[in-house]
Structure formats: C-alpha cells, structure tokens
Amino acid sequence: MAVMKHVALLIETSRAYGRGLVRGVARYNGERGGWSVYFQPHGLDDPPPPWLKDWKGDGILARVSNRRIADAVFQTGAPVVDLRGIMTDLGLPFIGVDNRMVAQLAAGHLIERGLKTFGFCGLPRGAHPHMDERCDYFGQVLEEAGFECRPDDVQ
C-alpha cells in the first residue's frame, strides 16, 4: 500500500479560477487517492496563513502571487509547484494553461467566423508574463494567416 502524502493547497477561493483548481485537485485525489490535503479558504493576495510556518508536509500546490507567499512556502522546505506563474524568477515548477493552444483556438475560431479585424485586450504588458505570451502567440497565429492584431494596453 502506498504511503499517504500530505499536501497543502494555497489556492484562493475568492476567484472562480482558484475554485476550479481546488475542484480539480479534489477530483484527482478522489480518482487516484493517496493525498491528505490541508486546505483553508483564502483570497489571492491574502498574507501567508499562520499555520504554514509550522506545517510539515510532503508538498505544496500554491498560487504564488507575491514575495510574501513565495518566502513563506520556501521557508517550509517542502517542494512547491506554482499554479500561477507570474513571478518567473522564483525557479519554481509551473503548471498552467497552454497559451500557444489557447491562442490557436481563439484565432481559428474568430477567423472561421469571418472576422477580419483583431485585437487583444489584457493587462498592461509586463503585468502577467503568461498573458504577454498568449498575446504574442495570438498575434503570430493571425500574422501567419495573413491578418494583423492590435493589442490594446489596459490602464
């Protein structure tokens, strides 16, 4: 019989995306088993939870959104997987969306519907590296299809 792994979730419940991740972890654990999950609801930019300082477990799945959370998860000494990826200098493994595929699907869908003018609306460049990546891929797909994309900077 496999040894039970103790996994902490630092995933916000204040946003639909985070709640979806929590449901996905629960589904995975329900299908595969083997995890004892420690989770308490919190917001994305909340300070590190007090229990984390003394937590001893096998790993952490976290949406690392700021340096305070990054420092707190590093101080546990447990392996961490980042589920947000906005702080690319941390050296953490990241699991997220395939931005190239998202861009291909979106551009293909819009082209199939006969659209000829395109834009990309998102956060200001540099605010979220994966959104920048998605914008770049979207522009590349459109350019390869003979179209132009005008990204809009949101202030």
- Among 68, 90, 112, the domain boundary falls at 90
Asked whether the beta carbons of 149 and 125 are under 8 A apart, the reply is no
Asked whether the beta carbons of 139 and 149 are under 8 A apart, the reply is yes
Tell me: do 57 and 79 sit in the same domain: yes
Give tens-digit pLDDT for 40-96. 998 988 999 999 999 999 999 999 999 999 999 999 999 999 999 888 899 999 998
Query: How many residues are listed for the chain in this entry?
Result: 155
pLDDT recorded at residue 153: 53
pLDDT higher than 70, residue 37: yes
pLDDT recorded at residue 155: 42
| CA nearest to 65, candidates 17, 25, 11 | 11
Tell me: do 75 and 122 sit in the same domain: no
Tell me: do 74 and 138 sit in the same domain: no
pLDDT higher than 70, residue 99: yes
Give tens-digit pLDDT for 21-35. 999 999 999 999 899
pLDDT higher than 80, residue 152: no
3-class secondary structure, 49: coil
pLDDT recorded at residue 60: 98
Instruction: Give the span between the Cα atoms of 106 and 122, in whole angstroms.
Output: 14
How many Cα atoms within 13 Å fall on the side-chain side of residue 43?
3
Tokens coding 2: 């496999």
Tell me: do 82 and 117 sit in the same domain: no
- Sequence-ordered list of residues with C-beta below 8 angstroms from that of 116, at least 6 positions apart, any chain: 147
CATH number of domain containing 84: 3.40.50.2300
- Strands 118-122 and 80-82: what pairing? unpaired
Confidence (pTM): 0.80
